[in-house]
Amino acid sequence: MGVFGFSFEMESSVSATKMFKASALESHILLPKAVSQFKSSAQIVDGDGEFGSVEHFKFTEVLQEDHLKERIDVLDRDNLEYKYTVIEGGNIGTKPTSAIYHTRFEPSEEGGCVIEASAEYNTINGEEYTKEEINARKDEMMGKYKLVEAYVLANTDYYA
């Protein structure tokens, strides 16, 4: 089994607490709205949204995969940090056997935040990802945070 991953930092004009709320605490509510072209629905299927809970996301026909289930491994409100593992769907079982994502939101001096994110993939039979595949996954993850940021900025009443 091979292991590969990446990490990145990006800035957001949205505060760390609002980005954490939107991305971690309420992803099952926000993502179908913020990325409706890709995710048609989402719900917590096991647990109460806290550590160990499982969220189920259904995708639109735009994507090759039809669904994804994620287990919450870390949900730290004090440090604005969360970690989850994809346990079903997506492309799990094709090239990767597992995918683990970790994100932390650090307040910035300007009132926004710095998003520190990483991903780790275990692959079947030591297969490796190309640089292009790694960059595509990183761009996808960064794009999700940009869409969340845009949604929060457009819905200031909700994320006050």
Residue 151 contacts residue 34 (beta carbons within 8 Å): yes
Provide the terminal-to-terminal Cα distance of the chain, rounded to the nearest Å: 45
pLDDT at 150 over 90: yes
pLDDT for residue 127: 82
Look at 61-65, 130-134, 141-145, 148-152 and tell me which has the smallest mean pLDDT. 61-65
User: Could you say which DSSP state residue 60 is in?
Assistant: -
pLDDT for residue 2: 76
pLDDT band at 38; cut points 50, 70, 90: low
Residue 121 contacts residue 99 (beta carbons within 8 Å): yes
pLDDT at 160 over 70: no
Residue-wise pLDDT tens digits, 84-135: 999 988 778 788 888 999 999 999 999 999 999 999 998 888 788 889 989 9
Q: Residue 130 CB: number of other CB atoms within 10 A? A: 8
pLDDT for residue 19: 96
Mean predicted confidence (pLDDT) in 17-32: 88
pLDDT for residue 108: 97
Residue-wise pLDDT tens digits, 46-92: 889 889 999 888 877 776 777 889 999 999 999 999 999 999 887 78
**What domains, with CATH codes, occur in the chain?**
2-154 (3.30.530.20)
Mean predicted confidence (pLDDT) in 11-34: 89
Look at 29-38, 120-129, 151-160 and tell me which has the smallest mean pLDDT. 29-38
